[in-house]
Amino acid sequence: MSGAAARRLGPAARRRAARGRRPAVLVLPALLALAFLAVPLLGLLVRAPWATLPERLFSPEVGQALRLSLICASAATLICLVLGIPLAWLLARAQVPGRGLIRALVTVPLVLPPVVGGVALLLVFGRRGLLGQYLYDWFGVSLPFTTPGVIVAEAFVAMPFLVISVEGALRAADSRYEEAAATLGASPWYTFRRVTLPAVLPGVIAGAVLCWARALGEFGATITFAGNFPGTTTTMPLAVYLALETDPDAAIVLSLVLLFVSVGVLVSLRERWIRGPV
């Protein structure tokens, strides 16, 4: 496009024309990156045993792992909601000393290898752990290698997704409505329930969905802290790991279920990511 022709275009048309220009040197690496990410997933679809898929989906082993995974991921998400929303509010609204350190601690599970997280949970909640010894001696409660242990491990690795999402929504929300409610005599708890929480509900839902999906796919912390006992702690990721050695087709079926869940999460959150925080 010549300079004179560009000047005759309006500002919006010039911006669209600028976005339409693609440096040729970036196209090939972009296509290679796309292929690198997509080809393994396509391979999973190509090698899937489609003829026996319904039968395998309803087999006892797959059904057991799927049921346990759904129960544990949902319970872990509930724990994250109960504990994570107040923590996100504390980081976004309260003036507390060491807030930067608190935020860093919240995000540590995002970068910490899950196996290390499982070891840390064992050292704290194990039968001889810092807290686990008292749980066992006083109440007879032992979390490792149990279904509640799976829930604890999944909540540990998934909670940062909820906290970060809700904190971002709280920071983006207009605080004048809360100030107006306080001026009219509303208590802090009433203001939080009737004003703050409804305003950030899309962020809470997005964080809960991400949290649930992360909990559903957790492997390292679960196998380290809760072990791998069929019917008790064998979730779908662990079942995939076991099935690879004995029944690869079952491993592919379980992987497909996790893949479809992940795609569903991405599709459900696409509009929020495009529009940004509410």
Local mean pLDDT, 10-residue blocks, the chain (278 residues): 52 58 77 89 86 80 87 95 93 84 90 92 91 91 92 95 92 84 84 87 90 92 91 90 84 86 76 50
Report the alpha-carbon distance of residue 275 to residue 59 in Å, rounded.
Answer: 41
DSSP letter, residue 51: G
CA 3 to chain centroid: 49
Which structure tokens are listed for 277? 């925080």
Report the alpha-carbon distance of residue 62 to residue 58 in Å, rounded.
Answer: 7
Supply the pLDDT for residue 226: 92
Report the alpha-carbon distance of residue 99 to residue 95 in Å, rounded.
Answer: 8
Supply the pLDDT for residue 278: 43
Taking the C-alpha atoms of 158, 161, 162 and 167 in order, what is their torsion angle to the nearest 10 degrees? 150
CATH T-level fold of 60-275: MetI-like fold (1.10.3720)
Domain spans, the chain: 60-275
Report the alpha-carbon distance of residue 212 to residue 127 in Å, rounded.
Answer: 28
CA 91 to chain centroid: 19
Overall pTM > 0.85: no
195 contacts: CB under 8 Å, gap ≥ 6: 177, 178, 181, 186
Rg of the Cα atoms in the chain: 24
- How would you label 204-232 residue by residue, b for 16+ Cβ within 10 Å and e otherwise? bbbbbbbbbbbbbbbbbbbbbbbbeeeee
Supply the pLDDT for residue 277: 46
Which structure tokens are listed for 104? 């860093």
Supply the pLDDT for residue 124: 94
- Residue 8, H or E segment: helix 3-8
Report the alpha-carbon distance of residue 253 to residue 49 in Å, rounded.
Answer: 8
Supply the pLDDT for residue 183: 85
Phi and psi for 59 in degrees, rounded to 5? -75, 155
Report the alpha-carbon distance of residue 144 to residue 132 in Å, rounded.
Answer: 9
Supply the pLDDT for residue 195: 87
132 contacts: CB under 8 Å, gap ≥ 6: 124, 125, 126, 142, 143, 144
Supply the pLDDT for residue 250: 82
Which structure tokens are listed for 122? 């064992």
- In this structure, are residues 198 and 32 in contact, taking their beta carbons and an 8 Å threshold? no
Residue type, 127: R
- In this structure, are residues 225 and 273 in contact, taking their beta carbons and an 8 Å threshold? no
Phi and psi for 34 in degrees, rounded to 5? -65, -45
